[in-house]
Amino acid sequence: MVVGEALMTGEIFVPAVVANVRAIDPGEVSVVEIALPSEYEIEGVKYPIRDRMSPGTAFLAKPYGVRKKKPQRRMYTRSNCALHSEGVIETVINHTREMKSDTSIWWQSEEARGLPKSRGTIDLLVGFNQNRTELVLYENSVRCETNNLLLEPEWPSMEFVALAFSTGITPFLSYLCYMKSSNFGCSDHHPGVRFSLIASARTPAQLIKHEELLELSRMFPFNFKYYPVLTREWPDSWPYTKGRITRVKGIRNGEEVVDIQPLLDVVPHIRNVHLRMCGGGSALEQLRLGLRQSGQTPLSFRSEVW
C-alpha cells in the first residue's frame, strides 16, 4: 500500500510508534514523543531511516481528525534535537480551542494517551536522500528565511531574544537542546551564545518545561536567561511579568496602538539583539506594530506563525 502511495504521490509515510503522550495540563497541553523505525521496506528493499532534523524545524505527521473523522496532515515543530535524541522526536501540542479544532482535540483524548501502551503508531513523512540509499525524516525549512525559525549556523556568536506564545516555545526548546548539547557554543576563545527566552502562557500549569528551564538558566547564567510570563492566572508571589508582554492600548487612525513596555522592561537593549518569535498571527501583528510605533528595530527579526 505504501509502495503504491510512494509511487503515485512521491511521498512516503512511515509508521512511527507514539512512545509517550504526557499531559502537562490535562485536556489542554501534552508533550508527545514519537520513535522513528530504524528501517522501512519499499519494493522488497530495506532502507535505513535517518533523523537529521535541524533545530527550529517542523515534521509532518498524520494525526486523527476528530471532526473530519480521518487522519489529517499536520506539522509539528520538534522540541528536542537530533544531536541529543536521534530518532526520538518530541513535540508539544495544545488544544487550540478554535472552532476549527480537529486533530488538536484528538491529541488530548484518552485514545491518544493510550497509544504508548498499545504501541500505537502515527505516520510521519520521510523522503529519499539524493542517492536513494536511505530515507530521511522530512523537515519544513531548509534555509533560513524571515518566516521560519531554522537556527542559523552562526548562532554561537549571536545574542538572541526569543518570544514564545504557548506551544510556540517548541522551536526554542529545540534550540536550547541543541545549544546545551554543544556547550552553548563556548570555546577557549569565545564565551558562546547569549539566549533569552520569554515564554508566555495563560496559567502556571501551561508553562512548558518550566522547572527544566529554570534549572538550565541556573546552570548557564551567562548563556541562557529565562523569563516566564503569565497572562491569565499567577500566584501572588510571581516574580516575573504578569499580563501580556505586548498590550493593545486603543485605536488611533484606524490602527491598534500597541504598548511593548513590558517587553522592553525585560529587554531594554532590544535594538542590539536578534529577535525571534513563534505564536499566532495576531501576536505577530501586535509585536510588529509595537516595535514600529516605539521606534525599536532589532538587529534582525524572524518569526514562524501557525
Ligand X SMILES: Cc1cc2nc3c(=O)[nH]c(=O)nc-3n(C[C@H](O)[C@H](O)[C@H](O)COP(=O)(O)OP(=O)(O)OC[C@H]3O[C@@H](n4cnc5c(N)ncnc54)[C@H](O)[C@@H]3O)c2cc1C
In the bound state with ligand X, the residue whose beta carbon lies nearer, of 166 and 206, is 166
CA 103 to chain centre: 17
302 binds ligand X (CB under 6 A): no
Rounded Cα–Cα distance for residues 231 and 203 (Å): 7
In the bound state with ligand X, the residue whose beta carbon lies nearer, of 6 and 75, is 75
Q: Binder to ligand X among 39, 41, 98, 145 (CB under 6 A)?
A: 98
In degrees, rounded to 5, the angle at the alpha carbon of residue 125 between the alpha carbons of residues 37 and 106 is 90
Q: Binder to ligand X among 50, 53, 77, 225 (CB under 6 A)?
A: 77
In the bound state with ligand X, the residue whose beta carbon lies nearer, of 31 and 270, is 31
226 binds ligand X (CB under 6 A): no
172 binds ligand X (CB under 6 A): no
Q: Which residue has the closest beta carbon to ligand X?
A: 104
Stretch that binds ligand X, among 14-22, 69-77, 201-209, 248-256 (CB under 6 A): 69-77
Closest approach, Cβ 157 to ligand X, in A, equals 27
In the bound state with ligand X, the residue whose beta carbon lies nearer, of 104 and 223, is 104
Rounded Cα–Cα distance for residues 3 and 138 (Å): 18
Rounded Cα–Cα distance for residues 290 and 117 (Å): 47
Look up residue 140 and give its three cell numbers.
519544513
Q: Binder to ligand X among 17, 31, 53, 92 (CB under 6 A)?
A: 92
CA 240 to chain centre: 22
74 binds ligand X (CB under 6 A): yes
Rounded Cα–Cα distance for residues 86 and 69 (Å): 32
Which positions from 126 through 145 interact with ligand X, judged by CB under 6 A? Answer: 140
108 binds ligand X (CB under 6 A): no
The one-letter code for the residue type at 146 is T
170 binds ligand X (CB under 6 A): yes
Closest approach, Cβ 13 to ligand X, in A, equals 16
Look up residue 68 and give its three cell numbers.
473530519
Closest approach, Cβ 77 to ligand X, in A, equals 4
In the bound state with ligand X, the residue whose beta carbon lies nearer, of 28 and 86, is 28
The one-letter code for the residue type at 275 is L
Nearest residue to 168 via CA among 255, 281, 273: 281
The one-letter code for the residue type at 4 is G
Alpha-carbon distances, residue 264 vs 84, 229, 270 (angstroms)? 34, 14, 7
Please identify which residue in the block is written with the cell numbers 525571534: 276
Mapping DSSP to helix (H, G, I), strand (E, B) and coil, where does residue 218 land?
Answer: helix
96 binds ligand X (CB under 6 A): yes
Mapping DSSP to helix (H, G, I), strand (E, B) and coil, where does residue 137 land?
Answer: strand
Strand boundaries in 204-273, DSSP class E: 224-230, 247-252, 255-259
167 binds ligand X (CB under 6 A): yes
In the bound state with ligand X, the residue whose beta carbon lies nearer, of 93 and 229, is 93
Look up residue 87 and give its three cell numbers.
530518532
Which positions from 181 through 220 interact with ligand X, judged by CB under 6 A? Answer: none
In the bound state with ligand X, the residue whose beta carbon lies nearer, of 70 and 189, is 70
25 binds ligand X (CB under 6 A): no
The binding site for ligand X (CB under 6 A) comprises 58, 65, 72, 74-77, 91-94, 96, 98, 100-104, 140, 166-167, 170, 280, 306
